[in-house]
Homo-oligomer: A and B are copies of this chain.
């Protein structure tokens, strides 16, 4: 994608709020590396992560934003960000862009619905397995489709995983411990996960 002159690049430290659809922040970005989490919060503080964006996803909600989603860097993130105006000009000049945006949003919608099934109908154990599987597929640098194993750093803390899966930290921890006990995964430094046999993990995802 060619960038207009008004774009800028920057790194965001972990946890930094990148943009909130709720208010005046009126920018649009491209995730160059890292993971961005989209969260929604209830008035009493309960939180739910409603999406994760990996490179090279677009980031932002064009055409008005009433949806009160907050985007935060989950890991070190490199963004290429530009004002809404630039996006809209680019879309005029290059209608293909709007098409690609539609395709990405359709993918996001598919993913959101995938997670609705997990949130509504899967057990804690199945949620964790599904989550690890999803991360493995998105993050493992050598993620060929025919790989038997995978190894990756979790982009989220236990608390964030809980917010993603509609669980508590304690339940997340227990389920990960259980998977480790059953040798489905190995965990180093709490963040690095190795899956020797992805099929065995997939078998626990409940699909």
Contacts and interface: CB of A to CB of B under 8 A. Distances in A.
B61 A106 contact: yes
A206 B116 contact: no
A48 B118 CA distance: 9
Nearest to A103: B63
Interface string A100-117: 011101101110111111
A47 B121 contact: yes
A62 interface: yes
A69 interface: yes
A119 interface: yes
Nearest to A91: B99
A40 B109 CA distance: 13
A47 B106 CA distance: 22
Interface size class of A (residues with CB under 8 A): 35 or more
A38 B206 CA distance: 20
B119 A116 contact: yes
A67 interface: yes
Interface string A161-190: 001011000000000000000000000000
Nearest to A205: B42
Contacts of A66: 110
Most buried by B among A42, A44, A63: A42
A121 B41 CA distance: 9
A207 B46 CA distance: 9
A117 B62 contact: no
Nearest to A165: B120
Given A61-B106, A106-B61, A116 B50 contact: yes
21 contacts: A40-B113, A40-B114, A42-B206, A46-B121, A46-B122, A48-B121, A50-B117, A61-B110, A63-B102, A63-B106, A67-B110, A98-B98, A98-B99, A98-B102, A105-B105, A105-B109, A109-B112, A119-B119, A119-B166, A120-B165, A120-B166
